[in-house]
Amino acid sequence: MTRIVGHFNDVRSALDGWDDLAVEPQMTVVLQSWSDESSRPDVNQLIGRTLFRRLLCCFGPWCESDGRNRDVWPAALHVPVRLAESVIAAELHRIESGGPSVPPTSARDEVFAHRMDATTDGRGLSGLQDMNGAVISPDRVFRKTVCSMLGDYGLRSLHLPLVASGRRIVPRETLRGPIHLVFHDLDPWGRLAEDSLTAARRMFPSSTVLGIASMPDAGISTEIADAQIDIVIPKLDFENGLRWHLKRLLDTHRQDRVHSHC
């Protein structure tokens, strides 16, 4: 069970109060709201304090360009807020299972490999075996790859290109029954993707729609506000994000079934 041993207003306050903590934290999370919020000396000192533990700086949309013109935080420790939930969940799992942390000096390819290295085993997710999926994307290789990953989790899926808005759309089912989950590629976002989403809603009326986007930030969130997308999974953290969101979705469905029987 995760326990918070301290919280501070900023990095400097954390450093000043570090020795008063009851126990050494196994993971430290910093929220960065604007560029240059923390000084380089303070960040370096915090990295030294947590060198053999875990440290993550989760930065908001106003800090998206930091990697190009600022290097206060090493890339290994810098995580966009849109990826933070699944990255933190994966790190907590690594702590429980004794898995390694990523060194702050790691290169970007090493960081990517670390985050894509699923710490959970390859078993399916309970509940997916009784469901059907559909993957929609203009990229044939991508949609087949997603189908393969879903198959590893136990979900049988068909894959389709973008659904043309001009065609006659009728509700569609498979031989195994209705489609429960639709995974729709949102890249590149535009009229074709928007029309395809609308058509997919009519084609699979009882489904939950999960969007997949390279940059699921405030911009795309505004664009898809009227598209009735339940979840957006970031491509940059796709394996962890996909499994994490599916697990949460299945847990919610189980809770809804329990409440409906009460």
Q: pLDDT by residue (tens digit) across 156-189?
A: 999 999 998 766 777 888 888 999 999 999 998 8
Least confident of 41-45, 49-53, 233-237: 233-237
Cross-strand pairs, 57: 30, 78
| Mean pLDDT of all residues in 141-147 | 93
Sign, Cα dihedral of 155, 160, 161, 164: negative
Residues in Cβ contact with 78 at an 8 Å cutoff, skipping those fewer than 6 apart:
57, 59, 66, 67
Sign, Cα dihedral of 127, 207, 150, 121: negative
Residue 219 has a pLDDT of 66
- 231 or 51: which carries more pLDDT confidence? 51
Residue 75 has a pLDDT of 87
**What confidence category does residue 11 fall into, taking pLDDT thresholds of 50, 70 and 90?**
very high
pLDDT at 105 over 50: yes
| Mean pLDDT of all residues in 146-158 | 93
**What confidence category does residue 119 fall into, taking pLDDT thresholds of 50, 70 and 90?**
very low
**What confidence category does residue 5 fall into, taking pLDDT thresholds of 50, 70 and 90?**
very high
The predicted-structure confidence for 79-91, as pLDDT tens digits, reads as follows 888 778 888 988 9
pLDDT at 121 over 60: no
